[in-house]
Every structure is written in structure tokens, then in C-alpha cells.
């Protein structure tokens, strides 16, 4: 039987987080990074913090990609989907 650490391990997996640079998004991204997940962080351009991205990569040794996207705009959503599908790890 697997223990909790084995069940919650996210190494080799990616997580896409929208609103990633708000309070809840940062809490979720920090938690998932701590479990080993590579992150795809999505938020409005003015919200993206490269300092926070550096903190995540340095602290947890994970891959972090950021995308600026206004999810209310259909063309932004389509572009995001196209870019994420290229990654192929969700």
C-alpha cells in the first residue's frame, strides 16, 4: 500500500494555475511546487512576477513557465491552449 507521500508526489507532472500571481494562486503554486510539480502559471501581464518565478525554481528545483492571458478574451484562451498543448505534460 502506498503512503501519503507516494500518493501526493507530483514529480514528472505539470499543473496549470490560472490567477497564479494572486494570493490563492501563489498558495496553490507553492504547495504543488513543494510536491514536485512543474508549473504553468497564467495571469494577466501586469500581475506576472519574475521574482516569484525565480523563488519557486530556486527553492523547489522545478520548471516554471508563465503565460500572460486574459481568460475573458477568446483569442487569448485559444492561444493559451495552443501553447500548453505543445508542452504535452498536463
Tell the residue number behind the cell numbers 501563489, with chain if given: 26
**At residue 2, does pLDDT exceed 90?**
no
Continuous H helices in 20-73: 23-34, 50-60
**Residue pLDDT, tens place only, 75-90:** 999 999 999 998 876 6
Phi, psi angle pair for 35, to nearest 5°? -90, 0
**Residue pLDDT, tens place only, 35-68:** 999 999 999 988 889 999 999 999 999 999 999 9
Amino acid at each position: 500500500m502506498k503512503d501519503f507521500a507516494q500518493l501526493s508526489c507530483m514529480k514528472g507532472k505539470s499543473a496549470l494555475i490560472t490567477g497564479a500571481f494572486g494570493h490563492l494562486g501563489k498558495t496553490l503554486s507553492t504547495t504543488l511546487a513543494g510536491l514536485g510539480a512543474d508549473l504553468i502559471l497564467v495571469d494577466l501581464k501586469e500581475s506576472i512576477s519574475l521574482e516569484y518565478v525565480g523563488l519557486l525554481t530556486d527553492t523547489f528545483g522545478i520548471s516554471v513557465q508563465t503565460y500572460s492571458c486574459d481568460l475573458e478574451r477568446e483569442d487569448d484562451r485559444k492561444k493559451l491552449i495552443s501553447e500548453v498543448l505543445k508542452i504535452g505534460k498536463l
